[in-house]
Amino acid sequence: MKKFLPSIDSKLRGDHQQMTLAACRALPEKHRKIIRRHAGLLIRYFCELPDCNWSLTGTPGGWEMSCRQTFDTRRFLEASKYLDCNPVTGRGQRRGHDTEGSLRAVPILLKKSLEAMREGRLQDALAYAGSGCHHLQDAATFPEQQSLHRREMGKVAAIDLGNYRPKKLFASGKEIPAVSRELLKKRIPEKLKTLIPALRQAVFEGDKTGRIALQNQSDLCGAEVTADILYTLLEFYRETREGAVSSVHENFETLDEEKLPPGWFTDRDDSAVYEGYSCIEGCYPRGLDLRPDKGYQLRLSSTGKSELRFRQAITRAFMPEAGKTYSLRANIYIKDTSGENGLRLRFYDAMLEEIRTLELPVENVGPHGKWVCPEHTFRPGKQVDFITLELYSRNNRGIILLDSYHLCPGKLPEIEKKPPLRLSLAPGKGCYIRDLSEFSAQNEPVTGIRDNTPSQLFRKNILILDGKSFVEIPFHPLHAPLQAAKTLVLTCFLRLEDNAGGTLAIQAESLHGMFKGWKLSIGNGRLIATVGNGTTSGYEFTSGKIELPCRKKMKIEFRLSPENQIRFVVDGKPEVHTVQAFPRSYSNSGFYIGSDRGVCDFLNGRIENFMISDQ
């Protein structure tokens, strides 16, 4: 019964994941075979996409589960690709998960899934289907009480539909709106109508056990609906593409970044901390950086300065051709040889179960600042369906940059022996900037996200601000290198094309427009350092503010001491101001260059030698 599905029950922490897994297992074997290479993505990732698309600063609701939200914009870009809404850039319209919002969202998502099924684009079809099923699982269980759907994450029970046989719900796209209304307004609410009073009473009385038991019954209904939807859509795929297994390119050289979600999913030793993180446990771990370029090569880095310990980081996966010999060659720049670092290949079967690993250590291969080019030839094996490439660090030390690599069947092509270290931009729609070579102090990805097309935002080692883009350097609750006991130092050389407005940097806890922390901003010909206490932007109580005349060229040094004393130096002329202390929390914080979260006033100019450190 489970032949073509991954055995990941114990690792699933979310209701949506459990319902989708149960639905997949209820499918006939021939349908499970079709989705076998995408089952892990569907169960762990695609059914969670609508929850990835909340606002940048957090997820509302949540009950007992933690609602921390990391500043990883890659997830928003990926979710926005399928949901037509990006809360960061403000493009598109986000549809709620209640009945009314789902009445608008579900028909659109199911129609797009049907179209992709008919065209043989299985991964896209499952992404749209998973998103549509997410809305149905939310809104078709307890209508207008979607927040009750989120129960304590540790109590998520495995769902078993037993001998349930999915039904075909529609025969053409024209029937989808009517079927959606039926599912959302008639079928499921009637089934659960008698449970709603008991659920309300359990919530009112704080009866956690009773509420979870009732919710489990609701989730069974959500799993049945999901099984029906998947069965119906896969019927269209099976009818048009009989015998096809996967729409992902088999040839690694043509594997497009947009075809494969960056990072896939990962398992980590500290994944329990991610409860509430849209159930994508440890996705895009800190210390690793994805930088694809137009040659479909991968750029990533591991700085080793984080206290975060990671076990596994799937950064790129491809499907090998059976019986062929593969060759790997990489360009690696050794910045610090103190760590036990290297490249690791992981080999998986069709169930996403790891078969074996192959490690290529690069520690102690040369002095600081040396290029190395390891090569290796191997045969994947008969049972291998996926191969992933990753960086690893056993002692969480050392700094290496994987500038480029080739992994392909047969002989290797020639690659540049000593490519220049430069900031890199991912091409095409949904692109984002990734580079840690100049930002290793905070060990976080750098993100250009405005309009999703920050063309020429970086040129050599100079940050180009075009008046339309900004850069985000996020923090994460597990990693706060700028500790409260140290002085935070920000230095840069700023050249402005105009001084109309914009934010140079910000460290703040910001939610729904409220600002708490410090920031440097430019406006009305003034360079301003401000401290806010958590009130609405524009009306914040400022316990300290420094203003200086703004010039076209300025060498800036900003120091924030543990006592919250601000030392602001412009062109060697210091201004000192002591401000009222506020909690230096980094659990929901980030640096922004060019604008405050990209909502208004973008800088236009150049920033050179931008560095953040602590002393």
Are residues 410 and 473 located together in one domain of the fold? no
> How much is the pLDDT for 589?
47
Q: Which residue has the higher pLDDT, 312 or 166?
A: 166
Q: What is the DSSP letter of 526?
A: E
Residue 360, beta-bridge partner list: 343
Are residues 416 and 435 located together in one domain of the fold? no
> How much is the pLDDT for 40?
72
Which of 240, 261, 282 is a domain's end point? 240
Kindly indicate the confidence band of residue 141, based on its pLDDT and cuts at 50, 70 and 90.
low
Determine the Cα–Cα distance for residues 370 and 374; give it in Å rounded to an integer.
13
Are residues 518 and 581 located together in one domain of the fold? yes
Are residues 204 and 338 located together in one domain of the fold? no
Examine residue 308 and state whether it is found in any structural domain, yes or no: yes
> How much is the pLDDT for 329?
78
For 61-82, how does the pLDDT look when each residue is reduced to its tens digit (9 = 90+)? Answer: 322 222 233 333 344 445 666 7
Kindly indicate the confidence band of residue 395, based on its pLDDT and cuts at 50, 70 and 90.
low
Q: Would you list the DSSP string of 307-370?
A: S---S----EEE-PPTT--EEEEEEEEEEETTS-EEEEEEEE-TTS-EEEEEEEE-TTSSSTTE
Are residues 236 and 279 located together in one domain of the fold? no
> Has residue 267 got a pLDDT over 50?
no
How are beta strands 471-474 and 514-523 bridged, if at all? unpaired
Which of 365, 398, 421 is a domain's end point? 421
Are residues 350 and 446 located together in one domain of the fold? no
Q: What are the Cα distances from residue 150, in Å, to 67, 145, 153?
A: 11, 10, 8
Are residues 414 and 444 located together in one domain of the fold? no
Determine the Cα–Cα distance for residues 60 and 91; give it in Å rounded to an integer.
20
Report whether 358 contacts 344 (CB < 8 A).
yes
Are residues 413 and 437 located together in one domain of the fold? no
For the residues 148-165, what does the mean pLDDT come to? 63
Are residues 417 and 463 located together in one domain of the fold? no
Domain count, the chain: 3
Q: Which residue has the higher pLDDT, 85 or 537?
A: 85
Question: Under the phi-then-psi rule, with left for phi > 0, alpha for psi from -120 to 50, and beta for the rest, what region is 514?
Answer: beta
Determine the Cα–Cα distance for residues 84 and 91; give it in Å rounded to an integer.
8
Q: How far apart are the first and last CA of the chain?
A: 58
CATH code where residue 404 lies: 2.60.120
CATH code where residue 515 lies: 2.60.120.200
Are residues 164 and 229 located together in one domain of the fold? yes
Determine the Cα–Cα distance for residues 577 and 567; give it in Å rounded to an integer.
7
> How much is the pLDDT for 112?
92
- Of all residues in the chain, what percent are helix, strand and coil, respectively (each to 5)? 25, 25, 45
> How much is the pLDDT for 390?
65
Report whether 373 contacts 366 (CB < 8 A).
no
CB atoms within 10 A of CB 115: 15
For 539-573, how does the pLDDT look when each residue is reduced to its tens digit (9 = 90+)? Answer: 444 555 677 778 888 888 877 777 667 777 888 77
The single-letter code of the amino acid at 436 is L
Cα atoms in the 13 Å half-sphere on the side-chain side of 73: 27
Q: Strand locations in 416-483, DSSP E?
A: 424-425, 433-434, 447-448, 458-459, 462-466, 471-474
> How much is the pLDDT for 231?
93
Which of 404, 421, 438 is a domain's end point? 421
Examine residue 449 and state whether it is found in any structural domain, yes or no: yes
Are residues 514 and 584 located together in one domain of the fold? yes
Q: Which structural domain, as residue segments, surrounds residue 414?
A: 252-421
Cα atoms in the 13 Å half-sphere on the side-chain side of 504: 32
Examine residue 294 and state whether it is found in any structural domain, yes or no: yes
Are residues 409 and 272 located together in one domain of the fold? yes
- Classified as helix, coil or strand, 82 is helix
> How much is the pLDDT for 424?
27
For 588-602, how does the pLDDT look when each residue is reduced to its tens digit (9 = 90+)? Answer: 445 566 655 444 566
